[in-house]
Structure 1
Amino acid sequence: MTHVHDLVGVGIGPFNLSVAALAEQVPDLSVAFLDENPRFCWHPGLLIEGTTLQVPFLADLVTLVDPTNPWSFLSYLKEHERLFPFYFAENFHISRREYSHYCAWVAESLSSCSFGRRVVSVDWDPAEEVFRVESEDVHTATRQTLAARNVVLGVGTTPVLPEPLRGLPGKEVFHSASYLDHADSLREAEDITVIGSGQSGAEVLLDLLRSQEREGRRLRWLTRSRAFAPMEYSKLGLEHFTPDYTEYFRTLPQETRDRVLAEQWQLYKASSAGTLAEIHDHLYQRSLGGRDPGAMLMPNVAVTEARRTTAGIELSCHHVEQDRTFDVTTDRVVAATGYSAERPSCLDPLVDLVEWDARGRYQVGEDYRIALGDGVPGGLYAQNAEMHSHGVGAPDLGLGAHRAARILNSVTGRDSFPLPERSAFTTFGVAS
């Protein structure tokens, strides 16, 4: 008889890895996680020297749910004999590189995680009442099918290029997600334009400023936002990234949720104050003695068209507040223009079973379970594809362990991981 897993995960990023790490502590729970990449590596194109997480190290894979779990960041430090150096470093926010190495250590240690296997289809078998998850070995093309009562999607988000740039990707125009992959190409450039004022855009510009050795090289930072604004990082402001706020957000009508999300851009789309301060410090030092700092920063600018010319990449720009247009010619364009949650092609067999909202998004319940048609008892769960239903905390690492625990509690039908009743001092809504 074919073995039936309790849960199969599609993709092994930090969020599904959190589920895998917590699941290992649940007795008699059969789980398997599949990923097409050869090994774990978190945003390799953005592991820039000196960059840190925007959340404290306690926002690891397990700690905020299970501090005694063997896959905590502190356990990683102990295993690698780094506890004392970390203790003396007094860094509450760890480097992105160390976080990636920590996650890779967990992924390589868990027998439930298999890399080099691309999931090609997820289908529902009504006769056996199980999901059939078919995967393919990326080297041998050998196929394997796993049966599962539940499936959790952790495929991550996809880099988004603005419409004007979509016909130009390549050496001269690329998304910031592959920034380090284009390091050699950037060194050749005399003029570089960064588009987008989120954290990735700020980190890219800062890295370019640090390496801007020769005079005459020009850097440019453009954004549609009204200002190069810092991310909201007050202690009470951060309570928007608590389970309490998620539960409140869930009570709002969908139209209100969509409006509120657009207004909350400084909670998740802005840059850290520290990165912006360091950018200013570099510009200040370079302007000593009346020198040209070699960089132009301009908010309120939308790129409306882009084309290749003999002189480079020509951008047609529109200053939103002045309602004026101008052109920019540059050698390279780094688009730090965000990511979106796309439906993976492996879900094609389930399209008619999934219940979509009016804008073609998953309808996601409070336990992160995607609504399926009548007669489908299996659970299909979403990770980092539910901002529209659960709020700004969806992509935040600080809520990853809590969401993973909610999913596992739903899968097991019991409180495998007891969760707090109150997580914020703020009362977000009026009790019904």
Structure 2
Amino acid sequence: MTGSTPQHEPDQPHDLVGVGIGPFNLSLAALAHGIPGGLAATFYEQKPAFHWHPGLLIEGASLQVPFLADLVTLADPASPWTFLNYLKSRERLFPFYFAEKFHIQRAEYDAYCRWVSERLPGLHFGHQVDSVRWNPERRLFEVDFTQIDPAGEAEALGRAYTRNVVLGVGTEPYVPEPLKPLADAPGVPVFHSADYLTHRETLLAAGHVTVIGSGQSGAEVFLDLLRARPAGAEQIHWLARTEAFAPMEYSKLGLEHFTPDYTRYFHALPEPVRGELTPRQWQLHKGIDADTIAAIHDELYRRTLHGGWPDAVLTPGVRVRTAGRVATTQVELHLEHVQQGTRSRLTTDAVVLATGYRERPVDRMLAGLDPYLRHDSAGRARIDEHYRLVLDPSVTGAVHVQNAEKHTHGVGAPDLGLAAWRSATILNSITGKEPYPLPRRTAFTRFGLETREAPSIPAQGQKLTPLVQS
């Protein structure tokens, strides 16, 4: 599919304004660019350029999804913005072919996304969106933004009008409450794993390092530190709240939880059921890649070949109750073992918090829309099946969200493998047509006793078409 971005007059409203340029909105921009006849779309990002988790681009670390989960392929494999076309443009297609790598390195995915971001029109970096409001007289959204100079200072103010908005502001590092004072204090060696590479030399120079968190990031940080420290003097603790350092669910049928079929099934469940189900599915997205677990065990085992055990402690089932400083150079963690009910203290020289991410708050940005927003019983935004915020029917435009809908769409919300499908769903909804025909069935598993197929696309404020029951 080919297309172009139409010329846009400054005073004319956009068809679409995207807030944030991470992988998900970059996917949306790439697919929007491919719509025949073009779509008046523009995207704003406060950062000066595209960067995807730069602090975790550890050498050798791979994506946990296949390379086909790029920005566009699973919606439009003929797009010029595929990962394979990126390789072709770099004259690396044959080396990739012979490498036989289904899972590419994170650094390569980051380079691919930057290649796309540097070539797509309509992307505005260094632009911070301040507010989104509905203008009932013009029947358009007003998007106010601040243009930021290279030094990070405000340079100019601007406003765009648009029929539709897509929020793709991403997530932010989560720091548990007991550790916030230390993580926020200057000069204290308590870092989130999102900044790991920035502080790697400091961590390697520390006498004793504690890694907290049982997911993929924690495992990769632990493995990188382990490999870099001398045998017999590793001095690393790895702590986690989960009952085990468990592998991610990666069976073929288990992966079908990351299909559009499961997303539709989950969205149709009652709200209380969804709330109970999501925490129980942690191993679908918070476990550790089996190859990483194997590499950790291999490295630990190698260090026993000449007798003795490595000075590395791996303890699951532990939570940090409180934390504080000892003198001026060390951190003291007050620990509790959940199953044993026992408590202990651990003194360490540095801490890496591989404690995950939370949705970035948008309350301030959307304050002007608050009178129109509809919420669930927990006060969260209601989101329909087409990723639209449920707004008052008087609002004729739509606000779509990307990776802010786990409570309504399930564990696939942050998964890169659903990026192209979700972007195509949003574009089909915005255009009211089907520029990207999507499959009606994507999984062998039938998740419920109903046959749930892709619904028609109603206009904002209309009821969804009832689904067929078998």
Bin the TM-score by the shorter chain: over 0.9
For 1:44 and 1:176, the matched residues in 2 are separated by: 10
* 1:119 positional shift: 0.8
Larger deviation, residues 347-356 vs 241-250: 347-356
1:157 to 171, 178, 181: 171
* 1:215 positional shift: 4.3
| Structure 2 partner of 1:391 | 410
Cα distance per residue 1:140-177 (max 9 Å; x no partner): 52011111100000000111001100111154111111
| Residue type of the alignment partner of 2:367 | D
| Structure 1 partner of 2:261 | 244
For 2:157 and 2:426, the matched residues in 1 are separated by: 28
| Structure 2 partner of 1:66 | 76
Q: What SS does the aligned partner of 1:158 have? A: strand
For 1:215 and 1:192, the matched residues in 2 are separated by: 14
Compared with structure 1, are the counterparts of its residues 234 and 214 closer, same or farther at alpha carbon in structure 2 (3 Å cutoff)?
Answer: closer
For 2:393 and 2:181, the matched residues in 1 are separated by: 42
1:5 to 4, 14, 19: 14
Cα distance per residue 1:247-279 (max 9 Å; x no partner): 111111111011111111110011111101100
For 1:92 and 1:336, the matched residues in 2 are separated by: 26
| Structure 1 partner of 2:189 | 172
Gaps in structure 1 of 5+ consecutive residues:
none
Q: Is the 8 A contact 1:136 1:142 kept in 2?
A: yes
Q: Is the 8 A contact 2:15 2:40 kept in 1?
A: yes
* 1:348 positional shift: 2.3
Q: What SS does the aligned partner of 1:367 have? A: coil
For 1:303 and 1:210, the matched residues in 2 are separated by: 26
Q: What SS does the aligned partner of 1:226 have? A: coil
1:353 to 372, 392, 411: 372
Cα distance per residue 1:257-303 (max 9 Å; x no partner): 11111111110011111101100001001122322312100001011
1:128 paired with 2:111, answer no
| Structure-to-structure mapping, 1:82-161, within 5 angstroms | 82-139=92-149, 140-161=154-175
2:398 to 367, 379, 395: 379
Q: What SS does the aligned partner of 2:60 have? A: coil
For 2:130 and 2:279, the matched residues in 1 are separated by: 34
For 1:254 and 1:141, the matched residues in 2 are separated by: 44
2:284 to 267, 279, 287: 267
| Structure-to-structure mapping, 1:253-332, within 5 angstroms | 253-310=270-327, 312-332=330-350
Q: What SS does the aligned partner of 2:44 have? A: strand
Larger deviation, residues 334-343 vs 208-217: 208-217
Q: What SS does the aligned partner of 2:117 have? A: helix
Higher RCO (Cα < 8 Å, 6 or more apart)? 1
For 2:147 and 2:113, the matched residues in 1 are separated by: 22
Q: Is the 8 A contact 1:305 1:316 kept in 2?
A: yes
Larger deviation, residues 412-421 vs 342-351: 342-351
Q: Is the 8 A contact 1:308 1:314 kept in 2?
A: yes
For 1:409 and 1:313, the matched residues in 2 are separated by: 52
Q: Is the 8 A contact 1:38 1:116 kept in 2?
A: yes
1:362 paired with 2:381, answer yes
1:427 paired with 2:446, answer yes
Q: What SS does the aligned partner of 2:237 have? A: strand
| Structure 1 partner of 2:358 | 340
Q: Is the 8 A contact 2:234 2:310 kept in 1?
A: no
For 1:73 and 1:104, the matched residues in 2 are separated by: 11
| Residue type of the alignment partner of 2:429 | S
For 1:335 and 1:306, the matched residues in 2 are separated by: 13
Q: Is the 8 A contact 1:225 1:299 kept in 2?
A: yes
| Residue type of the alignment partner of 1:73 | F
For 2:403 and 2:227, the matched residues in 1 are separated by: 33
* 1:114 positional shift: 1.0
For 2:173 and 2:346, the matched residues in 1 are separated by: 24
Q: Is the 8 A contact 1:286 1:292 kept in 2?
A: yes
Q: Is the 8 A contact 2:233 2:310 kept in 1?
A: no
Q: Is the 8 A contact 2:132 2:365 kept in 1?
A: yes
Larger deviation, residues 241-250 vs 180-189: 180-189
1:14 to 9, 14, 23: 23
For 2:368 and 2:222, the matched residues in 1 are separated by: 42
Q: What SS does the aligned partner of 2:404 have? A: coil
1:23 paired with 2:32, answer yes
Q: What SS does the aligned partner of 1:261 have? A: helix
* 1:343 positional shift: 2.3
Q: Is the 8 A contact 2:204 2:229 kept in 1?
A: no
| Residue type of the alignment partner of 1:113 | L
For 1:163 and 1:278, the matched residues in 2 are separated by: 32
Q: Percent identity?
A: 54
| Structure 2 partner of 1:45 | 55
- Once superposed, which parts of structure 1, at least 4 consecutive aligned residues long, lie more than 4 Å away? none
| Count of equivalent residues | 432
For 2:60 and 2:370, the matched residues in 1 are separated by: 43
For 1:227 and 1:398, the matched residues in 2 are separated by: 26
For 1:268 and 1:82, the matched residues in 2 are separated by: 31
2:225 to 203, 208, 213: 208
Cα distance per residue 1:60-91 (max 9 Å; x no partner): 00000100000000010001111011001100
| Residue type of the alignment partner of 1:197 | S
Q: Is the 8 A contact 1:190 1:216 kept in 2?
A: no
Q: What SS does the aligned partner of 2:298 have? A: helix
- What is the root-mean-square deviation in Å for CA atoms of aligned residues? 1.2
Q: Is the 8 A contact 2:231 2:303 kept in 1?
A: no
| Residue type of the alignment partner of 2:163 | R
Q: What SS does the aligned partner of 2:325 have? A: strand
* 1:372 positional shift: 1.2
2:215 to 178, 198, 209: 198
Q: What SS does the aligned partner of 2:443 have? A: coil
